[in-house]
């Protein structure tokens, strides 16, 4: 399927797992290992550059996502 990046991004906007970390780079937060020093490191070892202006916001998005996942896991107990 071919489509512009912004359309793909809008299709995935309701899914909190996906985050655009830079122009043309969309990651699944389930597979992110860390976001440090303007670099997003994936669990597979691949690294992607992050938007320097939105670095703090992106890092907070990851923290919030992980917190929500953990909260859901604990509420099931």
pLDDT band, residue 22 (cuts 50/70/90): very high
The radius of gyration of the chain's CA atoms, rounded to the nearest angstrom, is: 13
CA distances from 5 to 20, 36, 54, 73, 76 (A): 10, 25, 19, 32, 36
Averaged pLDDT, 53-77: 94
Q: Residues 24-61: pLDDT tens digits?
A: 999 999 999 999 999 999 999 999 999 999 999 999 99
């Amino acid at each position: 399927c071919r489509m512009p990046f912004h359309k793909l991004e809008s299709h995935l906007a309701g899914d909190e797992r996906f985050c655009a970390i830079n122009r043309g780079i969309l990651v699944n937060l389930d597979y992110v290992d860390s976001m440090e020093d303007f670099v997003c490191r994936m669990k597979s070892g691949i690294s992607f550059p992050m938007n320097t202006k939105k670095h703090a916001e992106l890092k907070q998005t990851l923290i919030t996502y992980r917190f929500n996942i953990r909260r859901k896991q604990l509420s099931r107990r």
